[in-house]
Structure 1
Amino acid sequence: MTQIRRTFPEPLKREAVEQILAGTPLRHVAQAFGITEGLLGKWKRQFLLKGMDAFPGHGKQLGEAAELKRLRDDLARVTMERDVLKKALAIFSQPTK
């Protein structure tokens, strides 16, 4: 029997963690949201460690990782443009017959 992995949206995670930080017992919040206490504890640790960068979701990257990816993409694009221009210069600098 295959279990389906449940996913939870970022706003739900933030709301649950905010309730815990406001003083509501973890057990009550877990029951209210229908999740395990272990998962809720994990969300709380993630939020305390990363703050607003917690819960990035699918495909989202955190601050420095996103910047690094953007810079690598820019470098690849600029390198390709340079190579094309080198080839064009070589073609147009040949003497005509």
Structure 2
Amino acid sequence: MRRREYSEEFRRDAVKQVVENGYGIMETAERLGMHHDSLRNWIKKYKSPEAELETKKSEDASAEIKRLQKELKRVTEERDILKKAAAYFASNPN
């Protein structure tokens, strides 16, 4: 059997199904088409304090990105409104 490479996101989601949703390791591994030992190793890896800290940092970064995207959208809309207002007042001197 050929060795498969799994993305980091896939690994985290698989671990989450077992840890947070309470599914069994064997059941989850079979459903995902992988060996149960791989899933067991991922669970050990992601439950370590370092991994939890890294996950927290990643979640914080994602939240910050979403916040900044929202702010950028608002500022862009404000800028567009100001451009239209400036164009209006420039064409109507009264």
Deviation track 1:66-90 (CA, whole Å, cap 9, x = no partner) reads: 0011111111111111000000011
Aligned: 1:50 with 2:55: yes
CA distance in 2, matches of 1:44, 1:11: 11
CA distance in 2, matches of 1:12, 1:69: 29
Q: How big is the alpha-carbon RMSD for the aligned residues of Structure 1 and Structure 2?
A: 4.2
Aligned: 1:41 with 2:42: yes
Runs of 4+ in 1 over 2 A off after TM superposition: 10-15, 42-45
Aligned residue type for 1:50: T
TM-score, reference length from structure 2: 0.51
CA distance in 1, matches of 2:83, 2:74: 14
TM-score, reference length from structure 1: 0.50
CA distance in 2, matches of 1:39, 1:76: 47
Give ranges in structure 2 of 5+ residues lacking alignment. 1-5
- In structure 2, relative to structure 1, the CA distance for the partners of 1:76 and 1:63 (3 Å cut) is same
Aligned length: 73
* Structure 1 residue 17 displacement after superposition: 2.8
**Aligned-residue identity in percent:** 8
**Higher helix proportion (structure 1 or 2):** 2
